Structure 1
Amino acid sequence: MTEQPWPALFEKTLRTYLTPLPSGEPISPDLSLTDHGVDSMAAVSLLLDLEQAFGVTVPDYMLTENMFATPAGLWTVIGSLVAQSPAE
Structure 2
Amino acid sequence: MWDSSFDEALRPYLPFLPADEALTAETPLKEYGLDSLATVELLAVLEEKYNVRFSDDALNLETFENPGRLWATLSQLQPAS
Q: Same fold (TM over 0.5)?
A: yes
- Bigger-Rg structure (1/2): 1
Segments of structure 1 that go 5 or more residues without pairing to the other structure are none
Q: How many residues align?
A: 81
1:68 shift after superposition: 0.8
- For the aligned residue pairs, the C-alpha RMSD in angstroms reads 1.2
TM-score, length of structure 2 as denominator length: 0.92
- 2:19 paired residue number: 23
Q: Give every structure 1 segment of 4 or more consecutive aligned residues whose post-TM-superposition deviation is greater than 6 Å.
A: none
Counting aligned pairs with the same residue, the percent is: 33
Q: Which amino acid aligns with 2:50?
A: F
1:34 shift after superposition: 0.5
Segments of structure 2 that go 5 or more residues without pairing to the other structure are none
Distance change (3 Å), C-alpha of 1:57 and 1:21: same
Distance change (3 Å), C-alpha of 1:35 and 1:56: same
